[in-house]
Chains A and B, each alone.
Chain A
Amino acid sequence: AQSVAQPEDQVNVAEGNPLTVKCTYSVSGNPYLFWYVQYPNRGLQFLLKYITGDNLVKGSYGFEAEFNKSQTSFHLKKPSALVSDSALYFCAVRRTGANNLFFGTGTRLTVIP
């Protein structure tokens, strides 16, 4: 079985401040981990992925995520938030050999000017 938890439905952060969107996962074997962002009435846009290698993964638009195996976490971070980062963020996991992505329920990020 596999699962993804995004414990915060909503995250608010002031523009220019660092942001963190949390994600923990449960999957058998080695996980493939992903972050996607969704803007209103749009599909999901790929931000970054972790397959193997360095625990700190850098992605699009200045985002990065840190894979922590012992805590089974893959939190999304950005050093300085922009108003345009306001959107819905989804963490997803795919276990080795599986065909599909398993998504969390999403976290709505609001960056306050």
Chain B
Amino acid sequence: NAGVMQNPRHLVRRRGQEARLRCSPMKGHSHVYWYRQLPEEGLKFMVYLQKENIIDESGMPKERFSAEFPKEGPSILRIQQVVRGDSAAYFCASSPSQDQPQHFGDGTRLSIL
């Protein structure tokens, strides 16, 4: 049973470009969470989605960031017009239900030039 798959593992973008981060949850998991980790810090919650629905986006910046989890395909975290401060590791987690532990992918490390 494959774990949570994130790609790409590393992404380099120039300021003003768009970044798309993908997450395929574990088989049988319909709950997806995105977190951001700055160097030497803990993870900060961004958004929680179930299939085709955003349940909680209280941790998402108000502008430039969006997330989706379509009926078919992976969940996508999209960052438009990236800035240097967006440089971080972005982790996706999934769970079969809200009460079960979240299982994490290996993250996408985003670097902004």
A interface residues with partner B (beta carbon < 8 Å): 4, 32, 34, 36, 41-46, 49, 51, 90, 99-106
Q: Determine if B56 and A99 form an interchain contact, defined as CB atoms under 8 angstroms apart.
A: yes
For B98, what are the chain A residues with a Cβ–Cβ distance below 8 Å?
99
Q: What are 6 A-B contacts with C-beta separation under 8 Å?
A: A43-B6, A43-B106, A44-B43, A45-B104, A51-B99, A106-B42
A90 in contact with B55 given A42-B106, A43-B104, A43-B106 (CB within 8 Å):
no
A32's nearest neighbour on chain B, judged by CB, is B99
Question: Which of A99, A100, A102: most chain B Cβ within 10 A?
Answer: A100
CB distance from A83 to the nearest CB of B (A): 22
B interface residues with partner A (beta carbon < 8 Å): 4, 6, 33, 35, 40-45, 48, 55-56, 59, 91, 93, 98-99, 101-107, 109
Please report the C-alpha to C-alpha distance between residue A60 and residue B110 in the assembled complex, in whole angstroms.
30
10 interchain residue pairs of minimum CB distance: A43-B104, A103-B42, A100-B45, A99-B56, A44-B104, A99-B48, A43-B106, A105-B42, A103-B43, A46-B101
Q: Determine if B41 and A102 form an interchain contact, defined as CB atoms under 8 angstroms apart.
A: no
Q: Determine if A43 and B48 form an interchain contact, defined as CB atoms under 8 angstroms apart.
A: no
Query: Out of B41, B48, B106, which one reaches A106, CB within 8 Å?
Result: B41
For B103, what are the chain A residues with a Cβ–Cβ distance below 8 Å?
46
Query: Out of A36, A42, A43, A105, which one reaches B41, CB within 8 Å?
Result: A105
A100 in contact with B42 given A43-B91, A46-B101 (CB within 8 Å):
no
Please report the C-alpha to C-alpha distance between residue A102 and residue B35 in the assembled complex, in whole angstroms.
10
For A44, what are the chain B residues with a Cβ–Cβ distance below 8 Å?
43, 91, 93, 104
For B41, what are the chain A residues with a Cβ–Cβ distance below 8 Å?
105-106
Query: Out of A36, A102, A105, which one reaches B45, CB within 8 Å?
Result: A102
Please report the C-alpha to C-alpha distance between residue A99 and residue B33 in the assembled complex, in whole angstroms.
9
